[in-house]
Amino acid sequence: MASYDFKSTEKKWAEKYEEFDGNKGVDFENDREKFYMLTEFPYPSGSGLHVGHAFAMTAADVYARFQRMQGKNVMFPMGWDAFGLPTENYAIKSGRKPQEITKEVTNTFHEQMKKLGFSFDWDREVNTTLPEYYKWTQWIFTKLFEKGLAEKQEMPINWCPKDKIGLANEEVVDGKCERCGTETAKRTISQWVVKITDYADRLINGLLDTEFIEKVKAAQINWIGKKEGINIDFEIENSVHKIQCFTKFPETIYGVTWIAIAPEHPLVAEIVSESHSTSVSQEVSQYLKETKKKSEFERTSGVSEKTGVFTGAYAINPVNGKRIPIWIGDYVLANFGTGAVMGVAAHDKRDYMFAEKYGLDIVQVEVPPEDPAYLIDSYEKVIEDGLMVNSGKFNGMKAREEAFGAVSNWMIENEWATKKVEYHLRDWIFSRQHYWGEPIPMVFCEKDGWVSIPATDLPVVLPEVEKYLPTDTGESPLANIKEWVETTCPKCGEKAKRETDTMPNWAGSDWYFLRYCDPHNTDVLADEKKMEFWLPVDVYVGGDEHNTLHLLYSRFVYQFLWDLGVVPKNITEPYKKRISHGVILGPDGNRMSKSKGNVIVPDEFVEKYGADSLRTYLMFMGPFDATMVWNERSLVGVRRFIEKFYNLIELHAGNNEVSDGESAKAINRLIKQATEDVAEFKFNTVIARLMETVNALSKPGSNITKSDLGSMIKVLSLFAPFVAEELWARIGGGFSIHTQQFPVYEEKYLISDTVLLTVQVNGKLRGTLMIDPEEYQERVIEEAKKSEKIKKYLDSGEIKKVIYIKGKTINFVVG
């Protein structure tokens, strides 16, 4: 038998699909249920579509095809998240325009996706770098500004002293500049900051309205990191100043033996001068000098030893009047909490180490309930769920359950402290000193300050420049274009200057799923009725790495737009279900990377084995969310299966056969499993069942009806769309198989008159019986006794008990 020629077949159908409209989502259609299937749009890099993209997109494609065949009106769009550093760096290196490069690579990606048979609705394609798209990204920013959620703040950025440029966090690798390897420093510059923390509680609560898988919900809640505690005011001896410390553990207040403040704390200078000791002040300034010299990486990596210096000043513990020394410590972060912490050595590992190093007191305030005499002698023995000791009137209370609340309330009543909620979530630094991003649509006017560009003047088009490198001052290259920078104030008409920073890569991807609903609208970001029709996104497939930042930012932007009233009022959360896909490792079991030379490029395998084989292999590798190792041998196995499938259909296609009975059973089992498992993203087991079915029906003498052949091909069409289309045509089906209804299994084929029953004696398997599954216990016992093999075990004692599970097993307890 001639082997299947995938090359010409896939080419033939791919061409035909150019004219095919069965993949398009239809606005406002009432007959069919809508289904919005979304998968993350890629950053189109010069190296082309990655196998990881192919994996995620194939899974989404299988699911979208399945929903269509269930009779739904499916929107399954694709686009390009094309602003970003790799393109900019490539432009710098090659001297070409990023616009041109982007056009080229998106074309490549587009072609690759078509070859892979993804059923995207290309009429809805979006590109974040096109002015008609980023007009609305900019518009969203102006609204954030107008509502007071975006403001300029002095913020530290990563600075490369050699290249003289600001670096995004992802450009800093192990504390060094990704481009030149120089150790980076922090530099404070004025940046746009978006106050996402104002939405922190809503972003937590909104999760209740979603069906995200648990791990995604956990990741989001964790990332927001809500912490409830109190801010305690410590008076400073002989001073008008107070030091405020945030703590999650108010119940440890009697255990405080020092206070540590960040080297950047605003009170450092005053505290030291008030101590009136020259030797102390010299020591402190020496310490501050050294701390500054330490790189940010060293200070925050967690590996370096904690250091500190005594300021000479003392604070007063409000609850017992005790004098406690004030230290400066480089382990205290200036930008978390109040920039000052209370030291409780007995109940915190890091505090214990600091106290040991500098000989500070250790006061234990909790003991384990089962051992009230227990004394802490090592930081490893931090007590959980302890009882209070050395804590005045709180002694004997359960630390967390009782003392936490009692101490907090008491301290608040006495005005020593206030309630405080802290978040791990930081405000969102929105400025980038780079070229290839959306210009931030703001101007600075001497009279009016910062003014946003009115909607009618958007977009602020990214001007073309000669050089894409940032300027010597660290500003974006846009700062060099005088005629662009110098403009007039939209408010007063006087001379003003444009903002030259651009937006981060997240900006365009925050709201792209809205644009897909109405991609060509020139009046609004998307028509509200269309959004109401399509939203929420029913299933959003993406990677774990985007479960925090991207997902959170885009939920925030949606909630903000909801407050503005430009998205449907009845839809409070944009994504109904979020699921995360697995990762494919290189053949050597390592994460794929250019430097390791283990990158798998899908093109090569499409060429060698065909898109159908590659897709089916990707879905067969393992569970959808697993970490899997690429193995070409297994791909060969899948190609073998497709050829076997092809040959089986070829063999039966011309005949009008009557089912042999067995084939109908096999097909119906297949349909049942496919229907149930595809719905749960369990693709590997569906393909295994397909293989079993093909193996069973390939036995000589099998007779299969045309409609059963059709059902098999339909299941295959989810994974291998091209060969399925070909085979569908071979058995006389009309174009296209992808507009057909998914087969429905019939219960009657799944019921059999006999079933294999396992017979256990004392829980151990001793034999099997072929028997009517509806048979009663007495009959089954009788049959079991007839079997020599089983009888042997039954005779070894008295039958004390019999457990019979109909159709599955019978267990004799013999003693």
Cβ-based neighbour number of residue 605 at 10 Å: 21
Give ∠ CA 782-787-791 in degrees, rounded to 5: 85
* Residue of the chain from 96, 152, 226, 350 that contacts RNA (CB under 7 A): 350
Is residue 295 within the footprint of RNA (CB under 7 A)?
no
Q: How far apart are CA 97 and CA 88, in angstroms?
A: 9
Q: Give residue 436's identity as a one-letter amino acid code.
A: W
Q: Say whether the peptide bond before residue 736 is cis (omega within 30 degrees of 0).
A: yes
Residue 775 interacting with RNA (CB under 7 A): no
Is the Cβ–Cβ distance between 117 and 618 less than 8 Å?
no
- Binding to RNA (CB under 7 A) within 392-451 occurs at 422, 424
Give the amino acid at 721.
P
Residues 6+ apart with CB under 8 A from 722: 6, 9, 10, 13, 14, 117, 610, 611, 612
- Between 33 and 545, name the residue whose CB sits nearer to RNA: 545
What SS3 state is found at 778?
A: helix
φ/ψ (deg, to 5) at 420:
-150, 135
Rule CB under 7 A: is residue 791 a binding residue for RNA? no
CB of 745 to RNA, least distance (A): 18
Residues contacting RNA: total by CB under 7 A = 85
| 45/548 with CB nearer RNA | 548
10 binds RNA per the rule CB under 7 A: no
Instruction: Please choose, out of 39-47, 469-477, 627-635, 719-727, the segment that lies near RNA by the rule CB under 7 A.
Output: 627-635
DSSP lists the bridge partners of residue 442 as 452
Closer residue to RNA, CB minimum distance, 105 or 687 = 687
Of 133 and 641, which CB lies nearer to RNA in the complex structure?
641
CB of 222 to RNA, least distance (A): 5
The residues that bridge with 583 in the sheet, in sequence order, are 627
Residues 670-709 that bind RNA (CB under 7 A): 682, 684-685, 687-688, 691-692, 695, 698
**Distance (Å, whole) CA 58 – CA 539:** 14
Nearest to 441 by CA among 150, 139, 149: 139
Q: Do β-strands 258-261 and 449-452 pair in parallel, antiparallel, or remain unpaired? A: unpaired
Q: In this structure, which long-range contacts are made by residues 749-757, counting pairs with CB atoms below 8 Å and at least 24 apart in sequence?
A: 749/664, 749/665, 749/667, 749/668, 749/669, 750/665, 750/668, 750/669, 750/672, 752/665, 755/807, 757/807, 757/808, 757/809, 757/810
> What's the closest the beta carbon of residue 680 comes to RNA, in angstroms?
9
Q: Which stretch binds RNA (CB under 7 A): 21-29, 332-340, 359-367, 413-421?
A: 332-340
Is 638 a binder of RNA (CB under 7 A)? yes
- In the chain, the amino acid numbered 156 is P
Among 46, 71, 266, 623, binds RNA (CB under 7 A): 623
| 189-197, 480-488, 499-507, 629-637 -> range binding RNA (CB under 7 A) | 629-637
In the complex, least distance from residue 787 CB atom to RNA, rounded to whole angstroms: 12
By beta-carbon proximity to RNA, the closer residue of 325 and 339 is: 339
Range 700-759, binding RNA (CB under 7 A): 756, 758
> Is 811 near RNA (CB under 7 A)?
yes
Stretch that binds RNA, among 65-73, 199-207, 497-505, 804-812 (CB under 7 A): 804-812
**Is residue 248 within the footprint of RNA (CB under 7 A)?**
yes
Report the residue from 200, 224, 341, 769 that binds RNA according to the rule CB under 7 A.
341
Which segment (279-287, 467-475, 487-495, 803-811) binds RNA by CB under 7 A?
803-811
Question: Kindly report the CA angle at 142 between 140 and 143, in degrees rounded to 5?
Answer: 65
Q: Quick one: which of 299, 546, 652, 738 contacts RNA (CB under 7 A)?
A: 299
Helix (H, G, I), strand (E, B) or coil at 517: coil
Q: How far is the CB of 803 from RNA (least distance, A)?
A: 4
List the beta strands (DSSP E) in 112-257.
Answer: 126-127, 150-160, 165-167, 172-173, 176-177, 185-194, 226-236, 242-247
User: What is 432-472 written as a DSSP string?
Assistant: B--SSSPBP-EEEETTTEEEEPPGGG--------S--SPPT
The reply on whether position 471 binds RNA by CB under 7 A is no
In the bound state with RNA, the residue whose beta carbon lies nearer, of 45 and 684, is 684
Tell me how far, at minimum, the Cβ of 306 lies from RNA, in Å. Answer: 5
Q: Which of 629, 651, 729, 799 binds RNA (CB under 7 A)?
A: 629
The helix/strand/coil state of 543 is coil
Candidates 760, 772, 781, 799: give the one binding RNA (CB under 7 A): 760
**Closest among 733, 641, 627 to 687, alpha carbons compared:** 641
Cβ-based nearer residue to RNA, 482 or 594:
594
Alpha helices by DSSP H, 661-720: 662-679, 683-697, 706-719
Nearest distance in Å: CB 398, RNA = 19
> How far is residue 298's CA from residue 285's CA, in Å, rounded to a whole number?
20
Cα–Cα distance measured from residue 799 to residue 784, given in angstroms and rounded to the nearest whole number: 13
- CA 223/CA 727 separation, integer angstroms: 49
Q: Which helix (H) or strand (E) holds 119?
A: none
Q: Which stretch binds RNA (CB under 7 A): 200-208, 346-354, 496-504, 530-538?
A: 346-354
Binder of RNA out of 640, 779, 785, 786 (CB under 7 A): 640
596 part of the interface to RNA, by CB under 7 A: no
First to last CA, the chain: 61
Q: How far is CA 407 from CA 254, 630, 632, in A?
A: 10, 57, 63
Closest approach, Cβ 719 to RNA, in A, equals: 13
List binders of RNA among 261-290 (CB under 7 A).
262
Build a one-symbol-per-residue string for 68-107: x at contacts with RNA by CB under 7 A, - elsewhere. Answer: ----------------------------------------
The residues in 495-524 that bind RNA, with binding defined as CB under 7 A, are: none
Task: Quote the CA–CA distance of 4 and 301 in Å, as a whole number.
Answer: 57
Amino acid at 678: V
Contact call for residue 374 and RNA (CB under 7 A): no
What residues contact 278, with CB distance under 8 A and at least 6 apart?
none
| CB of residue 87 to RNA, shortest distance in Å | 22
Scan for tokens 């937006």, then name that residue: 503
Nearest CB to RNA, comparing residues 124 and 265 = 265
Residue whose CB is less far from RNA, 482 or 764: 764
- Residue 590 CB, shortest distance to RNA, in Å, is 8
Q: Select the span of 179-187, 403-411, 438-446, 540-548 touching RNA (CB under 7 A).
A: 540-548
Query: Please, what is the minimum distance in Å from the beta carbon of residue 236 to RNA?
Result: 18
**Mask for 188-227, x = binds RNA (CB under 7 A):** --------------------------xx--xx--x--x-x
Tell me which residue of 450, 446, 437 sits closest to 148, measured CA to CA: 450
Pair type for strands 575-580 and 537-542: parallel
Residue from 330, 501, 510, 612 binding RNA (CB under 7 A)? 330
Q: Is 550 in the site for RNA (CB under 7 A)?
A: no
Q: Least CB distance from residue 585 to RNA, whole Å?
A: 9
For RNA, give the closer residue by CB, 631 or 707.
Answer: 631
> 354: Cβ–Cβ under 8 A, 6 or more apart, which residues?
260, 306, 308, 329, 331, 343, 345, 360
- Contact assessment for residue 754 and residue 783, using Cβ atoms and an 8 Å cutoff: no
Rounded least distance, CB 776 to RNA, Å: 17
Q: Indicate the helix (H) or strand (E) that contains 585.
A: strand 583-585
Which residue is listed with tokens 């017992």? 320
Residue in 375, 461, 492, 803 binding RNA, rule: CB under 7 A: 803
Question: Contact 653/730 with Cβ under 8 angstroms?
Answer: yes
